[in-house]
Amino acid sequence: MDNNEHLRERLKRSPRLKHLLDYIIMNQRDARPRWFVRLMAPLYQHRGRYSKIYKSVRMDTPPYRRFWLGRRSVVESYCCINNAVGDIVIGDHTRIGIHCTIIGPVCIGNHVNLAQGITVTALNHNFADTNKRIDEQGISTQPVVIGDDVWIGANAVILPGVTVGSHSVVAAGAVVTKDVPENCVVGGVPAKIIKQLNANS
């Protein structure tokens, strides 16, 4: 276990310490890490060999959650990466296209292609209690998992709790609310299977 893992484990056991650290590192008005935290990010993030994150990417990645970018993977311009409520792990040879948003906890496999404008979010705002404002009810998370060799088309939305199986395709504009099996194409709102893939198709 490295020093970063020790810090994360300690914060999990001490909500008061996490709250204090939150106040120190997060700009409360802008709800994003302060400038000095962004400068220190390379010290606590893992970026694989030959990986690239473009300068215009908004990296909301405080040190108490994991951010891992695999070898030869790319996060293109104007993306937003947010691990404040859950780890983000991106595999090798994976491309995150321009204007994508990823909110953890999210695990993306190897050789995955996300086109432009995609949202992958594991976060939901709670809203069931009508006696409270929505912003007073907190949040909930359900991990999102995207397998290997997946292609997700432009402007698709992957919602909390979804697993996209390996070798599958999500059509442009799809809203994925349920798990996607391996080796298929899904599309529509909500997304449904429109084609099975096999070695001869």
The residues carrying an active-site annotation are 125
Strand order in the sheet with 151-152: 52-53, 74-75, 95-96, 113-114, 151-152, 169-170, 184-187, 192-196
Judge contact between 81 and 88, C-beta under 8 A: yes
Q: How far apart are CA 151 and CA 156, in angstroms?
A: 11
> Tokens 């891992």 map to which residue?
68
Give CA angle at 73 (67, 77), nearest 5°. Answer: 85
